[in-house]
Structure 1
């Protein structure tokens, strides 16, 4: 058995970025999945200027797997429904953290503009809040209660869009 070289990452532990047919970065997948897509003809190599590649060998085949691949099949983007505005989804969006004090205990949801004053039950009017902050704020706005929000609430975005934004941000930081 041959000893592996120090500081060498085994090939199958690397990941590949998959682009849609119209060049939208969709996801990061493992090399095994990339090999299946390439061998089955569902994807092709996408040679970018900084692209690395790896060789994956089988007894009868050598596959060159680049760092970026592009789907060749027209796959209608999977339908994504906006999650409902409920406690579980609001807590997930706000990372299970009170948006007033940062506590992670006894969390509830709070309407920024209270419903009794015409506030709606929408993504941009609901935040996670601990019992203590929710009671202290009461039937007032955060400004009236002198309780600024840690972050501005917003609706979740499509996972593909979130991945694409993160991908291009990382590319700009590297280059």
Structure 2
């Protein structure tokens, strides 16, 4: 893989992994003194040569500047967001054909239109379940529904899972 196609992990001032950036962006942050190399691992990064200098780019950098966190709101419960959360697959059988939305606890029985009560279901499973609870229909969810997490939290969780996997 070419050096300019590499990605660098960016940490906040508090060492929270924020995101990945391409090596060009990382070089700009290092040269403008907005970030510093982070000696997280013994792995060496890359050397990038320009006509006037050689820059050592580590695999991890830490921001020196305080980045104002943009306000993030939980997205509204709508078809597009529920399909994205459920990876465009039925939460009962795993199918990706003819998807609809289903209320786990039917609205007619007091269920609400919230993140923990709406799932993606294929036409067949939705019809089979009908206006019944999971218990009444004898069905099970593959994954318990929940509201989407903040993108930085999702990235941090995945980053630490990858770090642990590399250590083993």
Q: Is TM > 0.5 for Structure 1 vs Structure 2?
A: yes
Question: CA–CA distance in 1 between the matches of 2:121 and 2:89?
Answer: 7
Match of 1:74 among 66, 73, 84: 66
Match of 2:82 among 60, 70, 90: 90
| Per-residue deviation, 1:153 | 0.6
TM-score by length of structure 2 reads 0.95
1:135 aligns with 2:135: no
Query: Residue 51 of structure 1 contacts residue 68 of structure 1 at CA under 8 Å; is this kept in 2?
Result: no
| Structure 1: runs of 5 or more not aligned | 1-8
Counterpart position of 1:115: 107
Match of 2:18 among 17, 26, 40: 26
Counterpart position of 1:4: none
Question: CA–CA distance in 2 between the matches of 1:126 and 1:56?
Answer: 49
| Structure 2: runs of 5 or more not aligned | none
Kindly report structure 1 stretches of 4+ aligned residues shifted beyond 3 Å. Answer: none
Count of aligned residue pairs for this structure pair: 167
